[in-house]
Structure 1
Amino acid sequence: MTDWYRRKKWTKSDEEEFFAKLGRARKDGRAQYLKIQAIELMYTDDKKLLSVAEILLNKMLVEYPDDIFNKGSALHTLGNIYKKFDNYKNAIDYYKQAMDFEQMFPNVKTQAYLDFSELIIKTNNTEKFIDVENILLERYSGLLFPIEKYKVNSILSIINKYKNKLDEAKQYAELAEENADCETSGLRYHKTLGVVKGKETWLEILKQD
């Protein structure tokens, strides 16, 4: 049976039942339930459900502003929602908010930095290329999974090619390929976690242009 806060649809009955159960839940868990439900609806890619997810996350942020554990993830998810709406300006803004929040609370990490970087490159926002480069280099030594390393090195290759630093661009492209070809994550118990299952077409095109 699906948990009451992991619905994939949102009828009037779903809404009423969700908020009834939310009202009975422990107060310190309500922000998390709102966030999880919003994420579940976001993954459907249904435009109406994306709007519901947006409402739930904004409700969480307004009613539980001091919930540090869930705030960064909520901001990141709002960025993802706006990206799905093709509202890149708002998406970039929320990714930036999530990253700023993580600067204050570094123990609560999301993938906002990578989604922000990808969107800047995708939209060819060259004015922010240096910002992206600095963000990725700052996190470079802490990258864990092959898919992160593949994407980060690909983006750094594209930025260096834009800067006409062709040797550096080539080195990063080679590192991206190495990580794309990794068959294991290096973790003892989750050997395929974070492995590249398929190269990103748009990244490959930009690296080769």
Structure 2
Amino acid sequence: MVDWYRQKSWSKEDEEYFFKRLERARKDGRAQYLKIQAIELVETKNAFLLDVAESLIAKLFSEYPDDQFNRPGALFALGNIYQLRNDYDKAIEFYKHAIDFEVIFPRVQTQAYIYYAELVVKTAKTHFYDAVEKILLEKMPGVLFPIEKYKGYSILCIINKYKCNTERAAHFEILAEENASKETSTLRYHKYLGIVKDRDSWLDKLVRKK
């Protein structure tokens, strides 16, 4: 049975059921339930449900403004909403808000940094390249999953090619390829979590571009 805060639809009955259960939930858990339900709806990629998800996040921010734990995830979800709407400027803005908040509240970390970096490169917003490079160089040493390292190093390669730093670009290309080829992660009990199953053809094309 699906949890009441993980619904993938939003009929009138779904809405009433969710808010009825939310009202009965512990007050200190309500912001988290709003965030999780919003994320579930974003994952459907349905235009109407994206609007609902955005309204749930707005409710989280307005009714629980002091909740820090769920803010990065909610900002990350807003970035995903706007990316799915093809509003890349707004998506980049929300991803950056999530990244900035994680700096001052490091207890919660999302994948906003890699989505931000990838979208900046894919939309060729070169004025953000220095900021992206700085973020990735700080993040990469602590990254566990090969797929994030593959993407991160690919992006660093692309940025350094743009800057004509050919040696650094070649170094990052090697690291990207190494991680794309890894068959296991560093996690002892989840060896296959976060490995590269499908390469990003767009990133690969930019990496190999002369």
* TMscore range, shorter length: over 0.9
Give runs of aligned pairs for residues 84-103 of structure 1, distance below 5 A.
Answer: 84-103=84-103
Q: Does 1:72 align with 2:72?
A: yes
Q: CA deviation at 1:106?
A: 1.1
List alignment gaps of at least 5 residues for structure 1: none
- Which secondary structure does the structure 1 equivalent of 2:70 belong to? helix
Q: CA deviation at 1:25?
A: 0.8
TM-score by length of 1: 0.98
Separation of aligned partners in 1, 2:17 and 2:115 = 33
Q: Does 1:4 align with 2:4?
A: yes
Q: CA deviation at 1:167?
A: 1.6
Q: Does 1:144 align with 2:180?
A: no
CA-to-aligned-CA distance 1:107-131 (integer Å, 9 cap, x gap): 2111111111011001000111111
Give runs of aligned pairs for residues 53-132 of structure 1, distance below 5 A.
Answer: 53-132=53-132
* Aligned-residue CA RMSD (Å): 0.8
Give runs of aligned pairs for residues 113-192 of structure 1, distance below 5 A.
Answer: 113-192=113-192
Separation of aligned partners in 1, 2:188 and 2:140 = 22
Q: Does 1:196 align with 2:201?
A: no
Name the % identity: 58
Q: Does 1:26 align with 2:26?
A: yes
Code of the aligned partner of 2:176: A
CA-to-aligned-CA distance 1:2-56 (integer Å, 9 cap, x gap): 1111111100111111111111111011111111111111000111001100110
Separation of aligned partners in 2, 1:101 and 1:162 = 29
CA-to-aligned-CA distance 1:61-92 (integer Å, 9 cap, x gap): 11111111111110111111110011111111
Q: CA deviation at 1:58?
A: 1.0
CA-to-aligned-CA distance 1:123-181 (integer Å, 9 cap, x gap): 00011111110111111211111111101110000001001111211111111011000
- Which secondary structure does the structure 2 equivalent of 1:108 belong to? coil
Aligned length: 209
Separation of aligned partners in 1, 2:52 and 2:132 = 31
Separation of aligned partners in 1, 2:4 and 2:143 = 35
TM-score by length of 2: 0.97
